[in-house]
Structure 1
Amino acid sequence: MTQAIRSSPKPFTPDDYANRMARVVDDAAEAGLDGLIVTPGPDLVWLTGYRPTAITERLTMLVLTAREMPTMLVPALERPDAAAAAGAPGLRLVDWADGSDPYQVASGLLRFDGRYGVSDSTWSAHLLGLQKALPRTGYSSLSECLPMLRAVKDDSEIARLTAAGAAADATFGEIVNVRFAGRHEYEVAADLARLLRDFGHEQVDFTVVGSGPNGANPHHEADDRVIEKGDTVVLDFGGLMYGYGSDTTRTVAVGEPDAEVRAVHEVVRQAQQAAFEAVAPGVPCEEIDRVARTIITDAGYGGQFIHRTGHGIGVTTHEPPYIVDGVRQPLKPGMCFSIEPGIYLPGRFGVRIEDIVTVTQESGLRLNNTPRDLHVVE
C-alpha cells in the first residue's frame, strides 16, 4: 500500500480561535449587526474547534457580540465535550437541561431587539424558537451578511490546504497507472477513494468518474458503466485532510484520443491557464470567470460551459468566494478557491481541468501541480 510521507501541521491554539472570534465580532459590527449566532456546522468548527458528536434536535449555539465575552449555549449532557474543545478556554459555557426551554435560556444571551447574523446550517426549528422567544429580533444568514467570514485563510490554514492539494496530486499520479478500459466507473472511483486515504485524507467527499457520455454531466455519480477504449474520462475527487479540503479535476483519454477531443481539451486548458494568470489582489472574483468564459465562448463552446468557474475552499469544499459573474468581491491575499472551466457535449464527452489556487501578495499560487495536458491511460 502506498503511504504518504508527511508531517502534521501544528494544531490550532486557543489564541487562534480567540483571534478568529474577535475578528468576526469586528466584521459583524461593520456590517451593522449586534452579533452572530453560530450553530453546529463548519462555522462553529472554524471558530471554536468544537464539532458535536452528533447534530441533534438539542440546541447548541455560539453567541458572539461586542458587549459580552464569547458564550456557547450547550445541552447539559454535551457540556464536557464542549469544554474539551480547542477554543474552549476563550468561551463561557452556559448549559440547559432536558425538560427546560432552551430558547428562554438563549433569550438571556441576546438583545430583545437585536439584529444577528445566523450561520447557514442553523435548523429552521431553532431559528423559529428564537423568534418566538424574542419576537423583535431580526436575523440574516451569514452567507448574505458576512459572505467572506472564512474566506481569507491564515498561514496555518494555507499549510493544511497545501498538504491536501499535494495528497490529491499524489492520488492522480497513481490513478493514471491503473487500467481503465474494461472496468466499471465505480471501480476506478473506489481506487481514487483508497488512494486519497493512503495519502492522508481522513475523509473522502467525492470521486467523480465520468466516462464517455457521462463526462458531459459535471457532477456525475460513478456508476456501472464499463469504460471503453476511446473514452475520455473526467476525474474529479477530493475530501478533507487535517480538516481542510482538496478538490482537483483532470480529464484523461483511454487510448489515443481523436482530434476533436484534443482540440476541446486544449481550449479548456487555455481557459484555465488564462484565468489563473488573471489572479491578483484587487481583481474582482467575476473577472476570473470572465477571462475563462471568454476563451471558451470565442472557441464556439460558450453554451457548453454550464457552471461557475470556481468556488472557495477551506473547512468545506464549497464556500465563498464564488468565481462567477455578479460577484464583485475583490480578491485578497489568503483567499483560496478553485479554477475549473469545462466544456460538456451532451451524449458524447466532457472535459474539465481544476486546480485550487491561493492569492498571494502579488498574484496566484497553484496548490495542485499535476500536468494539465491530456493524459493517455490504458
Structure 2
Amino acid sequence: MTQYTLTEAPQRQFSLIEFEHRMARAQAMMRALNLDGVLLTTETNVRYFSGYFTQFWQSPTRPWFLILPATGKPIAVIPTIGVVGMSDTWVDDVRAWPSPFPEDDGVSLLSQTLAELPKRFGRLGMTLGRETHLRMPQQQVQSLYESSDFELVDVSREVLHLRSIKSTAEINRVGHICQVTSNAFAALPKFASIGMTERDVVAGFRMELLRQGADHSPFIVSSSGMDGYDDIIMGPTDRVIAEGDVLIIDTGTVWQGYFCDFDRNWCFGDCSSQTKAAYEVVYKATDAGFAAAKPGNTTSDLYRAMWPIMQAGGALGNDVGRLGHGLGSDLTEWPSNTATDETLLEVGMIMTLEPGMAYLNGDGKVKQMVHEENIIITENGAQWLSTRAAAQLPLLG
C-alpha cells in the first residue's frame, strides 16, 4: 500500500477473502492469548467479522451474538428476524430463537452453543474494557459468568487493534466517503449566506451530501458566533448567521458502513486578524501532524508535533482532550492522539488530525478554532483522504 488512489465508487460488498483474512487474524490473536473463542455482541464487531449489514441495530429490543471459534468460521446466535440476512453472509452456522422473549432471549441457545466449543484453555474472549460496550442485558452477562465453563477474558484492545489496520477495500470505502463529503463542503458557499440559520445551512449541506452520493449523515454538528464560536459538539441551532460570524460544520458521514470525520470553517463577511491567525495556526499544526504521521511513530508523536505549534500561536487550551483519533466503521475509533497514548502507527491505519485551540478573538473573548482532516498511514508516510482545506479562513459574502 504505497499510495492510495481513488478511481471510482468501490464495490458495496466485500469479497469472501476479506472475511477469511479477518478471521485468520482473529484466530492468530486467540492462539497468542490461549483463547477457545471470542464472543461479540455489538453492531460494528458483528458486521466486521460476518458481513451482516442491516439498519435493524437501531432497535435495542433484541440481543445479537457472534462467536468466533479458535478454528473454523463464525457462528451466529441471533433472533429469527435476522436469519434471512445472516444467511446471505459467509456465515454458515446460523442459530436462532424467536425474540423478543424476555424470559430467556437467547441465553439458553448461546450457552448451549458455547458449550459445544472445543475447550483447550477454558478461556473465552469478550470486549469488556474501555472504548467498548456489550449491548446485552446485565442479567445475561451475569449468567455467563455464573454458568459458563469459560473464564471470561477482556480482548477489547486486541479487537480494536485488529479493526484499526484497514484493508485496501476498507480504505477505498473511507476514501470514497471523504471525497463525497469534500465535494459537498466545496458546494456549501453556493447556498449558505448571511440571514440563514445554522439549521438551514446544515439542512442544505445534508441534502448536498446525499446528492453527492452519501448513504446518510448520522453526525452533523455546527456552531457559529460573532468572530468565533464557543462549542463544537452541539448545534445546529436556530441562530441567524450575521455579518462577522464564523461558522464550523463537522460531519461524520457514511457510505456502506464506513465514516469520514472532518470539519470546515467559514467567516461571513470578515472577521478579526486574531481569528484569521488562529485558523492559520491550526492549519499549520495539521501540516505538522501530517508530517509526523508515518509508520514507527506514535499517536503521541502526532500530539507532540501539533500542540507546540498551537502553544506558540497563542492557544489558551484545548477542551477536546485529544488532537485526533482512529476512524473507520465507527465515527471515532481507537487510538487517540494524546500526550500519553503512545500507540504505534502502522500501515493501514486511518486517522484524523484534529488540532483545536481556545484563543482570544478581536473583542478579547475566548473562542474556539478547530480543524480536522482524514489521513491514511502508508509505507511512505501519510496521505490525505479528505481534500485539504483552504490555507486561509474562507470568507463568504
Same fold, TM exceeding 0.5? yes
With structure 2 as the length reference, what TM-score do the two structures score?
0.85
**Runs of 4+ with >6 A deviation:** none
Residue matched to 2:348: 334
With structure 1 as the length reference, what TM-score do the two structures score?
0.89
Question: What is the CA deviation profile of residues 104-133 of structure 1, one whole-angstrom value per residue up to 9, with x for unaligned ones?
Answer: 322233368423123634324332232233
Q: How does 1:1-378 map to 2 (within 5 A)?
A: 7-9=9-11, 11-51=13-53, 53-54=56-57, 55-67=59-71, 69-85=73-89, 87-88=90-91, 91-97=92-98, 101=104, 102-110=106-114, 113-118=122-127, 120-125=133-138, 126-134=140-148, 137-140=151-154, 142=156, 144-212=157-225, 215-304=229-318, 306-345=320-359, 348-373=366-391, 374-378=393-397
Question: What is the CA deviation profile of residues 208-228 of structure 1, one whole-angstrom value per residue up to 9, with x for unaligned ones?
Answer: 221116722121321011111
Cα distance between partner residues in 2 of 1:197 and 1:341: 28
Q: Which moved more, 1:316-325 or 1:222-231?
A: 316-325
Question: What is the CA deviation profile of residues 133-180 of structure 1, one whole-angstrom value per residue up to 9, with x for unaligned ones?
Answer: 3275324262x4433121011111111111111111101110022233
Cα distance between partner residues in 1 of 2:180 and 2:98: 44
Question: What is the CA deviation profile of residues 326-370 of structure 1, one whole-angstrom value per residue up to 9, with x for unaligned ones?
Answer: 222211111001101112349653221111000011200011124
- Specify the code of the residue in structure 2 equivalent to 1:225: R
Q: Which moved more, 1:303-312 or 1:166-175?
A: 303-312
Cα distance between partner residues in 2 of 1:164 and 1:124: 34
- Specify the code of the residue in structure 1 equivalent to 2:396: V
SS at match of 2:314: coil
Q: CA RMSD in A?
A: 2.4
Task: From the superposition, tell whether residues 239 and 129 of structure 1 become closer, same or farther in structure 2 (CA, over 3 Å).
Answer: farther
- Specify the code of the residue in structure 2 equivalent to 1:155: T
The 8 Å contact of residues 10 and 176 in structure 2, kept in 1 or not, is answered as: no
Q: Which moved more, 1:23-32 or 1:227-236?
A: 23-32
Q: Which moved more, 1:234-243 or 1:8-17?
A: 8-17
Q: Which moved more, 1:12-21 or 1:156-165?
A: 12-21
1:271, CA displacement in angstroms?
0.7
1:376, CA displacement in angstroms?
0.7
Task: From the superposition, tell whether residues 26 and 211 of structure 1 become closer, same or farther in structure 2 (CA, over 3 Å).
Answer: same
**% identical aligned pairs:** 22
Cα distance between partner residues in 2 of 1:69 and 1:235: 42
Cα distance between partner residues in 2 of 1:6 and 1:63: 35
- Specify the code of the residue in structure 1 equivalent to 2:370: R
The 8 Å contact of residues 209 and 221 in structure 1, kept in 2 or not, is answered as: yes
Q: Which moved more, 1:51-60 or 1:101-110?
A: 51-60
**Structure 1 stretches of 5 or more lacking a match?**
none
The 8 Å contact of residues 217 and 344 in structure 1, kept in 2 or not, is answered as: no
